[in-house]
């Protein structure tokens, strides 16, 4: 008998994309056993949209975050395999079948996750195009055996949760990275470019920067809790460092007659810090968009660094700020 597959879709205020997500699930060439939508206290008509589709709808009475929503879906599901999908993602028809083939052909693999398409789910302009280009690039760069799990589109064996536990509900960001580290060397993890979804990403610069700042606050606490080698990183150290030095060296203009020579130098170094990314964007969208991409990318890197620094300080002052296991370890060592 082929394995049964439960689909779990955590969602919050996803009226814009949920119908496309659920329609794409039902277009999968490999049939699914059940679809469970976990509505995390939406205030729009998300629940009404879910009820139009053959799925089981679970509703939280307060907003608990994606980790807790996924946990509720896991506990309510019955499949041998769980296909996680974010509600702003629409998988290509062969996505599930391709992931199943990897699990079948590589018995030591317990988790397969995929990449974003360059084609948006809904085209909302240049900021979203930036996000999709970068998101597609860094996932494609890491295709193969990895130590990190990314649950936007992911197929995983149920036994993993029995063994390592559920998602850490304290985390509203990096919860997938944290559970991937707990999987460690016990379970194989594959990032594949054969499991593809179209994604509706951030399309407003302010909202994007705020999200990056908020989410990156968990980077240092989660990294300090990691027991194995660092997993997938969307941003390189060279890019983060040179981006930070662009504004950091602006005061030196007072010593050079008003010309921010060092800042301009670090801007050039930032531009070429990831030559493969630069070539990729040029090839995909041309020089004009590449200039726009570099400007937005600089701001995003600064938001990530700022958030990481704030999160690091918060973690030092309050060890409860971060993964549960890090908090327990800190209390045990006292």
| 81-85 vs 56-59, strand pairing mode | unpaired
- List alpha helices for 59-155, DSSP H: 66-76, 95-105, 126-141
Instruction: Tell me what the mean pLDDT of segment 9-31 comes to.
Output: 97
197 CB burial (10 A radius; 0-12, 13-18, 19+): buried
pLDDT score at 215: 95
pLDDT tens per residue, range 62-118 = 999 999 999 999 999 999 999 999 999 999 999 999 999 999 999 999 999 999 999
Q: Tokens at residue 185, please?
A: 């060397």
| Domain regions of the chain by residue span | 5-202, 237-333
Fold classification of 5-202 (topology level): Spore Coat Polysaccharide Biosynthesis Protein SpsA; Chain A (3.90.550)
What is the model's pLDDT at position 334? Answer: 52
Q: What is the pTM of this model?
A: 0.93
Q: Which of 125-134, 158-167, 197-206, 316-325 has the lowest average pLDDT?
A: 316-325
Residues 6+ apart with CB under 8 A from 126: 289, 292
- What is the tens place of the pLDDT at every residue in 290-322? 999 999 999 999 999 999 999 999 999 998 899
Q: What are the pLDDT digits (tens) for 150-192?
A: 999 999 999 999 999 999 999 999 999 999 999 987 999 999 9
- Show contacts of 286-293: CB within 8 Å, 24+ apart: 289/126, 289/129, 292/126, 292/130, 293/130, 293/133, 293/134
What is the percent of the chain with per-residue pLDDT over 70, rounded to a whole number?
Answer: 96
Name beta bridge partners: 90.
198
Say what the pLDDT of residue 109 is: 96
pLDDT at 230: 65
Token readout for 326 is 């890090």
């Amino acid at each position: 008998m082929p394995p049964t597959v439960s689909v779990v879709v955590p969602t919050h205020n996803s009226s814009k994309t949920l119908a496309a997500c659920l329609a794409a699930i039902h277009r999968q060439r490999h049939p699914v056993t059940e679809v469970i939508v976990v509505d995390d206290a939406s205030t729009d008509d998300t629940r009404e949209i879910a009820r139009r589709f053959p799925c089981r709808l679970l509703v939280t009475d307060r907003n608990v975050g994606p980790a807790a929503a996924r946990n509720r879906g896991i506990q309510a599901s019955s499949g041998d395999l769980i296909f996680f999908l974010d509600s702003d993602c629409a998988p290509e028809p062969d996505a599930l079948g391709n992931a199943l083939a990897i699990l079948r052909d590589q018995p030591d693999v317990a988790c397969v996750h995929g990449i974003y398409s360059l084609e948006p789910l809904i085209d909302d302009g240049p900021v979203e195009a930036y996000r999709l280009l970068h998101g597609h690039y860094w996932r494609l760069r890491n295709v193969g055996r990895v130590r990190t799990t990314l649950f936007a589109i992911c197929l995983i064996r149920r036994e993993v949760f029995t063994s390592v536990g559920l998602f850490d509900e304290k985390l509203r960001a990096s919860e997938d990275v944290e559970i991937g580290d707990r999987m460690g060397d016990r379970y194989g993890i594959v990032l594949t470019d054969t499991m593809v979804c179209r994604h509706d990403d951030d399309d407003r610069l302010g909202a994007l920067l705020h999200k990056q700042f908020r989410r990156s606050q968990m980077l240092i606490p989660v990294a300090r809790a990691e027991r194995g080698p660092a997993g997938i990183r969307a941003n390189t150290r060279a890019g983060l460092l040179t981006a930070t030095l662009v504004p950091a060296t602006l005061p030196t203009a007072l010593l050079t007659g008003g010309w921010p020579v060092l800042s301009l130098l670090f801007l050039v170094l930032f531009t070429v810090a990831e030559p493969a990314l630069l070539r990729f964007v040029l090839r995909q969208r041309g020089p004009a968009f590449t200039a726009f991409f570099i400007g937005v990318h600089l701001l995003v890197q600064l938001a990530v660094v700022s958030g990481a620094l704030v999160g690091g300080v918060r973690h030092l002052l309050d060890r409860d700020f971060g993964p549960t296991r890090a908090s327990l370890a800190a209390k045990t060592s006292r």
